[in-house]
Amino acid sequence: MTDTKIAISNLYKIFGRDPANALELVKNGVGKQELLEKHDHVLGLSDINLEIPAKGISVIMGLSGSGKSTLIRHINRLIEPTAGSMMVDGDDVLAMNKEQLIDFRRHKASMVFQKFGLHVHRTVAENVAYGLIVQGQGKKEAKAKSHKWLERVGLAGFEEHFPSQLSGGMQQRVGLARALATDAEILLMDEAFSALDPLIRTDMQDVLLDLQKDLHKTIVFITHDLDEALRIGDRIAILRDGQMIQQGDPQHIIIHPADDYIFDFVKDINRGRVLQVGTIMTKDQSRSTVTIPSDMVLEEALQTVATIDGQSANIVNASDQVVGSISLDQIVKGLARPEVEAQAGQYR
Ligand SMILES: Nc1ncnc2c1ncn2[C@@H]1O[C@H](COP(=O)(O)OP(=O)(O)OP(=O)(O)O)[C@@H](O)[C@H]1O
Ligand SMILES: [Mg+2]
């Protein structure tokens, strides 16, 4: 079991003149639309319960206005909740005084912003060092660390450039280096890659995944994009109208979308490149002498299994133990989009 790093319980956020009163309405079943139309309050978040494990990438998804930014900003208390609790490493973030909170933001949780948020009049190296100097570190030490992290994100040689002289992707590398340099265990990334071109965006995902292999940070990553979520997320949580609709293992969400809203998110993904054989295998062994790893994606498995006598293979886990089997037939079924079932209300 992994430890819980961030525990969010019964969290509500209501925007408006009298949130406390509106909260009662929401608890009595008034939804976002009605709260806005009849009571002039905006339901930002409604009864969110989410445990974010340490050392993994947890993705939060949802349509525009579903409450993603509101949720991530509660973690470092840029937003005060209307009700609920927010614990980080067992510490109550909502009970922190001003000083403790400043300390928490400087040392524990760093943010990477969508629009990079760099100081335009400071050099790249100064941008990265700034957070360290604010932490109270000496100039020399801050500079050395800043150079180290810039090198780590592939920007060696650009230390003395100004942000405006860099491309968007490079600017976001600076943003990432700045967040990493503080040594914070938690990275909060709100649509950090969304402003980038698709190819640059994929590059940045690689940079992040590569760093994560060594650093094992607890990363909360917000995105609109399911492909991005599937590429980097160990877990995915999906919001709609301020409510948590489904959360858990990405593979599970793809094959068991909780409702039509989730189904709309997952229906167009490239199942061949995303679904793994371990997700759709049967647990009994086949007679095949060929084994394939459980995290092999269907597209690849299709190529392999189609050429095997008997057209099936055994599946092994990371420790090389046989955990099940898969046939060509199952792979082909797995590739098909389950449209008809969903329309028939299968996922409700
Ligand atoms: N300061 C505020 N005052 C009033 N309403 C707000 C405020 N901040 C957010 N909201 C409302 O709360 C809801 C959630 O907003 P939020 O910014 O969290 O959405 P989001 O999922 O991040 O959307 P996007 O994908 O567009 O960034 C929206 O209905 C929004 O209008
Ligand atoms: Mg947002």
What are the residue ranges spanned by the domains of the chain? 52-266, 271-343
63 CA from centroid of ligand 2 (Å): 9
pLDDT at residue number 25: 96
- Ligand 1 close to Cβ of residue 56 (< 6 A): no
pLDDT at residue number 340: 43
Tokens at residue 20, please? Answer: 């406390």
Q: Which residues have a Cβ under 8 Å from the Cβ of 100 and sit 6 or more positions away?
A: none
269 CA from centroid of ligand 1 (Å): 26
Q: How many CB atoms lie within 10 A of CB 118?
A: 22
- pLDDT band at 115; cut points 50, 70, 90: confident
Q: Whose CA is nearest to atom 28 of ligand 1?
A: 65
Q: What is the pLDDT of residues 311-326, one digit of tens each?
A: 999 999 999 999 999 9
Average pLDDT of the chain to the nearest whole number: 93
344 CA from centroid of ligand 2 (Å): 33
Q: What is the pLDDT of residues 218-257, one digit of tens each?
A: 999 999 999 999 999 999 999 999 999 999 999 999 999 9
- Ligand 1 close to Cβ of residue 62 (< 6 A): yes
pLDDT over 60 at 191, yes or no: yes
- pLDDT band at 1; cut points 50, 70, 90: low
pTM of structure: 0.91
- Ligand 1 close to Cβ of residue 17 (< 6 A): no
- 8 A C-beta contact, residue 218 and residue 55: yes
Cα–Cα distance between 135 and 268 in angstroms, integer? 45
- Ligand 1 close to Cβ of residue 68 (< 6 A): yes
225 CA from centroid of ligand 2 (Å): 13
Smallest-distance ligand from the CA of 62: 1
pLDDT at residue number 78: 96
> Which CATH number fits the domain 271-343, given the four candidates 3.40.50.150, 3.40.960.10, 3.30.1200.10, 3.90.1280.20?
3.90.1280.20
**Could you say which DSSP state residue 94 is in?**
G
- Ligand 1 close to Cβ of residue 44 (< 6 A): yes
44 CA from centroid of ligand 1 (Å): 6
Which atom of ligand 1 is closest in space to residue 13's alpha carbon? Answer: 12
From 33, 37, 42, 244, give the residue whose CB has the most ligand 1 atoms within 8 Å, as the site to mutate.
42
- Ligand 1 close to Cβ of residue 64 (< 6 A): yes
Please give, one letter per residue, the 3-state secondary structure of 256-293: CCCCHHHHHHHCCCCHHHHCEHHHHCECCCCCCCCEEE
pLDDT at residue number 348: 44
- pLDDT band at 339; cut points 50, 70, 90: low
Cα–Cα distance between 213 and 232 in angstroms, integer? 12
What is the Cβ-side half-sphere exposure of residue 61, based on CA atoms within 13 angstroms?
26
pLDDT over 90 at 336, yes or no: no
Which atom of ligand 1 is closest in space to residue 73's alpha carbon? Answer: 18
171 CA from centroid of ligand 2 (Å): 20
- Ligand 1 close to Cβ of residue 19 (< 6 A): no
Which atom of ligand 1 is closest in space to residue 44's alpha carbon? Answer: 12
Q: 31: left (phi > 0), else alpha (psi -120 to 50), else beta?
A: beta
45 CA from centroid of ligand 2 (Å): 13
Percent of the chain having pLDDT more than 90? 86
240 CA from centroid of ligand 1 (Å): 12
Tokens at residue 91, please? Answer: 């510490």
CATH 3.30.499.10 matches 52-266: no
pLDDT at residue number 187: 96
From 13, 36, 60, 70, give the residue whose CB has the most ligand 1 atoms within 8 Å, as the site to mutate.
70
- pLDDT band at 338; cut points 50, 70, 90: low
Which atom of ligand 1 is closest in space to residue 32's alpha carbon? Answer: 29
Q: Is the dihedral of CA 64, 74, 219, 200 positive or negative?
A: positive
Dihedral Cα 308, 310, 312, 314, nearest 10 deg:
-90
Q: What is the pLDDT of residues 36-65, one digit of tens each?
A: 999 999 999 999 999 999 999 999 999 999
Calculate mean pLDDT across residues 302-318: 93
